[in-house]
Amino acid sequence: MFRHTKHLQFEAKPEKPDALYAMKLQELIGGAFGEMTVTMQYLFQGWNCRMEGKYKDLIMDVATEEIGHVEMLATMVARLLEGAPDDVTAEAVKDPAVAAVVGGMNPQHAIVGGGGPVLADSAGTPWNGKYIVASGNLMADFRANVAAEAQGRLQTARLYHMTDDPGVKAMLKFNLARDTYHQNLWLAAIQQLQEDGVEGPVVPSDLFDEENQEHAGTLWHLSDGTESDQGVWASGPAPDGRHTFEFLADPAALGGPASGPAPKPTQYVTSHADASGKPKQPPQAKGPGERIKDAFQ
């Protein structure tokens, strides 16, 4: 079960309202890498975890913390929207400079949220459950978590430089620190999975004998760039300890032309042949007499 405590994990008090910045801050709530995404991602990873113990407990700890981050940001957005839009705002926008700022606000804050936050990103696009990754494989999921936290911290850092409000900056400093910890946490958890022998570097740790070994370690040089062979990924042992890297400077195509099968005549696809492979015969128009004859038949 979940129990809500009526205190924010960290304070969320802006020095003054700023409707335009409230719209920008929506990205950290409902964006693809926002707090709603990591909240639901970690919750479903925890619920999907089939192994009781430290890994599931860890996931649920962080998932529950992320719910609090959504609450912090939602509270901050509501406080940034204080007094906007209302009669005071309508009067204020008579000043061209103020109108330019207020004009950039998200109208859904007023129309949908009643002066509060909405579950959407900074462009007003609704949050989507397809953003989350919860596969049941901890190695795959933890790697997705590192990426999500990295993108979230990147966006938080950019937003940090978009405001001079001390109250907003104080909260974002806290968020930056938690994103730092969470990146390190998931990186450490990835290492722990390997040390515990639960998962290997390659997901899933299976079908190595069935895969085509000839192509399990080769970098195909397929661009005009000239330095892709200058990294550790181009030669030597692979991180999984089972494969060896190799650089193919001039790889050859292994398949034939990328042509689909002949279409059915009723699909009206432009082609030179019908479904049987024979030259396509266009439908012939029939005269009135033939159409009457066909109808009686």
CATH assignment at residue 73: 1.20.1260.10
Residue 224 lies inside a defined structural domain of this protein: yes
Residue 154 lies inside a defined structural domain of this protein: yes
Residue 288 lies inside a defined structural domain of this protein: no
Q: Is 65 annotated as a binding residue?
A: no
Residue 119 lies inside a defined structural domain of this protein: yes
DSSP output for 110-177: HHTSSSS--SB-TT-PBP-GGG----S-HHHHHHHHHHHHHHHHHHHHHHHTT---HHHHHHHHHHHH
Is 149 found in the same domain as 96? yes
Q: Is 52 annotated as a binding residue?
A: no
Q: Is 211 annotated as a binding residue?
A: no
Is 159 found in the same domain as 76? yes
Residues 58, 140 contacting (CB under 8 angstroms): no
Domain count, the chain: 2
- Say yes or no to pLDDT of 99 above 80: no
Q: Is 57 annotated as a binding residue?
A: yes
Residue 297 lies inside a defined structural domain of this protein: no
Kindly report which listed range (24-38, 67-81, 204-218, 264-278) carries the lowest average pLDDT score: 264-278
The reported pTM is 0.84
Structural domain span for residue 240: 213-248
Q: Is 149 annotated as a binding residue?
A: yes
Kindly report which listed range (14-23, 167-176, 256-265) carries the lowest average pLDDT score: 256-265
Q: Is 122 annotated as a binding residue?
A: no
Is 243 found in the same domain as 114? no
Is 237 found in the same domain as 112? no
Is 180 found in the same domain as 53? yes
Residue 278 lies inside a defined structural domain of this protein: no
Is 241 found in the same domain as 119? no
Distance CA 195, CA 53 (A): 16
Nearest to 30 by CA among 161, 132, 125, 163: 125
Q: Is 161 annotated as a binding residue?
A: no
Three-state DSSP at 27 gives: helix
